[in-house]
Chain A
C-alpha cells in the first residue's frame, strides 16, 4: 500500500501541490485526472522519489520512505516522451532493469521474451529503438517497466504521443497486463474518457489539489464540487446559474426547471453533461429549452451542437449526423433528474443524480 500524507510541493513562490493525501492499495489501478499543469507529473515524481515533497510524508506498507532514492523504491515509470537507451538494442533496453539488479542470464532472457511477446516486440528485439515507430518505442519502454516487476508502476500520459488506433489498443491491454502482477498502478491523463475506459479509481487534480478520490464511475457520476465536475467532463460541462425558489430552479430566461431535491432557496449553479441534452424528450419530466445553434461539429456517429441559451453557451452531444443551420432556433430537452447542483462555493448539494452517466 502506498500512502501519501499531507504532501505539499513548492518551488519558489509557485505551489505545485497542496495538502495531498491518498491511499493506493496493492493490485489497484489509479488514474490521476487533470488538465496540464494541474500537478499530475509533480505528484508522480514525488511518488517515484525523484523529488522530495516540501512537507508531508510517503509510506509504503507503513514504512516511511520519504527521501529514499528512486532506485531503492521498487518503482517503474513510463513517460510521455519515448525514453529508451539510444545505443542499446530493444532486447538490451528491456533487459536493462534486470541487468542493474544483477539477475542471471536465463531469467533475464525468459523475462525479456515474455515481455516482448506481450508487447508484440519479438520481431524487433535486435533493432535500435530509434529505428522503430513511436508506438514500438513506447512499447519498448512499457516492456522495460513490465520486466522490472516493481511494486509501483507510474505511467505519465504514456499514450499521449501515440496515434489514435494504437492508443486504443494499448489502453485496453495495459490494465490487464499490470493487474496480473498485483502492483500499484498509477496512470496520469488529461482525458476524462481515458479515465472512464481504464476504470479503477480516479483522483481528480486541479491546481495542485486532489479534489476527489474514489472509484472512477462514482467520481464521474457524483462529483463533490464544480471543479471536479469540470475536470471530469469532455466535452466541457454545461452550466448555468439558477435561482431556486420553492420547487423550481428559475433560469435567467424565465424558464423553470423542477428541483428534485429539497434544498434551501438561493442562487445555485446547475450543471449537466453535453449528452444529457436531447432533441426529443427523454420522459414526462423533461424540460424544453429554446436555443440557437451557434456552431456544428460532426464526427460521423455523433454531432456536437454548440448552442446559445440566454445567459449560457452549451454543447449538445447527440447521436447521428444533425444538419442544422447556424443561427437556427431549435428546441432541446433536459431531464431535471440528471442535474448536478452546486452552491455558491462550488460544493455539490443534494442527491446523486441516479441516472447520470
Chain B
C-alpha cells in the first residue's frame, strides 16, 4: 500500500507540543540562555561562552555539594528500599487492618514538604522540641544546629519518615498481585520463608522496585525543601546540597549565569544516573519478566 502523507496530522500533536513547550522546553532554554551569559543587572547581558561551565566543574563548592547529594541518595536508598519491603511484607493482606495500614502509610505522603520540614525543625529543637528535649533528658548530646552528624541524622530520619511509605505502598501493590497459588505451591514444596521471599516475592516485585528505586533516587537527589527548612544547609555547609547551593547562588548572590550552568550540569547528572539505574535494573530482570 502506498503511504499517504498528510501534514494535517501535525495538528493532532500540536496541543501536547504547546504544553511541553511551555512546561519544559522554554524554561529549559531560558536556563541554557542564562548559562552562557553574564549580567550585572539592568537587563544587560554579555556573552560568556562556556566559562560558567568550566568554573562550576572546577569549583570545590560544587563537588562538595555533589558528593553530599550522592551520599544522601545512597543512604536514603539503602534505608528506605529494604525498610519499605520489610514493612510491605508485614502488612496485613486482608481484613480491617488493610485500610488502616494504608491510611497510616499514606499520611506522611499527604503532608506538604515545607510542613514536614517545619514539623521536624520544631520536633528536634533542644529547647522546645519533643525529640530534642527527650534526647537531652536522656543525656544524649543532640543538637542539629551545631553538630554536622546530628544535622545529617535529622535530615535522613526526616526523609525516611516522609518517603518510606511510598516504597511500602509500591511494594504492597506488587505483593498483592501475586496469586495465592504461588504461596500454596511453595508451602507444598516445603520452601522456607526466606526462599519464598527470594524466589517468589522478590522476582515478582522487581518491576515496582525498579520504579521505587528510580523515584526515590531522583527525589532524594533533588532534595531541597526539608533540609532548607530544618538546617538551612548548615551547620556551615554540612547539609548544603546542590539544590540549596543553587538557590543561594541564583537568588542569594544573583549569580544567574553560574547558577544556570550548575543547574544544567545537575540536570544532566540526574538524567545520566536515572538512565544507568533503569538500564541496569531492566537488564538484570531480563528473562524473568516479559
- Enumerate chain A interface residues (CB-CB to B < 8 A): 45, 48, 50, 69-71, 75-77, 79-81, 83, 85-88, 96-97, 100-101, 127-128, 130-131, 144, 148
Contact = CB atoms under 8 A, between A and B. Distances in A.
A126 to B, nearest CB: 10
A77 B202 contact: no
Contact of B191 (A81, A100, A127): A100
Contact of B187 (A71, A86, A131): A71
A83 B185 contact: yes
Contact of B288 (A50, A75, A128): A128
B287 interface: yes
A69 B181 CA distance: 16
A251 B202 CA distance: 65
Nearest to A48: B188
B202 to A, nearest CB: 7
Contacts of A80: 181
B181 A100 contact: no
A149 B24 CA distance: 62
- Most A C-beta atoms less than 10 A away, residue of B184, B202, B290: B184
B207 to A, nearest CB: 11
- Most A C-beta atoms less than 10 A away, residue of B185, B204, B287: B185
B187 A50 contact: yes
Nearest to B198: A87
Contacts of B185: 77, 79, 83
Contacts of B289: 86, 130
A87 B182 contact: no
Interface residues of B, number: 19
Given A130-B289, A131-B287, A131-B290, A81 B187 contact: no
A75 B199 CA distance: 21
A69 B188 CA distance: 8
B199 A85 contact: yes
Interface of B: 179, 181-182, 184-185, 187-191, 199-200, 202-204, 287-290
B181 A83 contact: yes
Contacts of A144: 189
Given A50-B187, A128-B287, A83 B202 contact: no
A81 B181 contact: yes
Contacts of B182: 83
Nearest to B190: A71
A88 B199 contact: yes
Contacts of B190: 70-71, 97, 100-101
B234 to A, nearest CB: 46
A77 B199 CA distance: 18
B203 A71 contact: no
Contacts of B184: 45, 48, 50, 77, 79
- Most B C-beta atoms less than 10 A away, residue of A45, A81, A127: A81
Nearest to A75: B188
27 contacts: A45-B184, A50-B187, A50-B188, A69-B187, A70-B187, A70-B188, A71-B187, A71-B189, A83-B179, A83-B182, A83-B185, A85-B199, A86-B203, A87-B199, A87-B202, A87-B288, A96-B189, A96-B191, A97-B190, A100-B189, A127-B287, A128-B288, A130-B287, A130-B288, A130-B289, A144-B189, A148-B189
A81 B182 CA distance: 9
Contact of A86 (B188, B189, B191, B200): B200
A185 B185 CA distance: 17
Contacts of A86: 199-200, 203-204, 288-289
A77 B287 contact: no
- Most A C-beta atoms less than 10 A away, residue of B203, B204, B290: B203
Contacts of A130: 287-290
A87 B181 contact: no
Contacts of B188: 48, 50, 70-71, 75-77
Nearest to A79: B181
Nearest to B204: A86
Given A77-B188, A79-B181, A81-B181, 15 more contacts: A48-B188, A50-B187, A70-B187, A76-B188, A79-B185, A83-B182, A86-B289, A87-B288, A96-B189, A96-B191, A97-B190, A130-B287, A130-B290, A131-B290, A144-B189
Nearest to A73: B188
Contacts of A69: 187
A185 to B, nearest CB: 15
Contacts of B181: 79-81, 83
Contacts of B189: 71, 96-97, 100, 144, 148
Nearest to A148: B189
A281 B19 CA distance: 78
A279 to B, nearest CB: 47
Nearest to A97: B189
Nearest to B185: A83
- Most A C-beta atoms less than 10 A away, residue of B199, B202, B289: B199
B289 to A, nearest CB: 6
Contacts of B179: 81, 83
A82 to B, nearest CB: 9
B179 to A, nearest CB: 6
B198 to A, nearest CB: 8
A326 B181 CA distance: 46
A76 B190 CA distance: 11
Nearest to A100: B190
A212 B187 CA distance: 31
A76 to B, nearest CB: 7
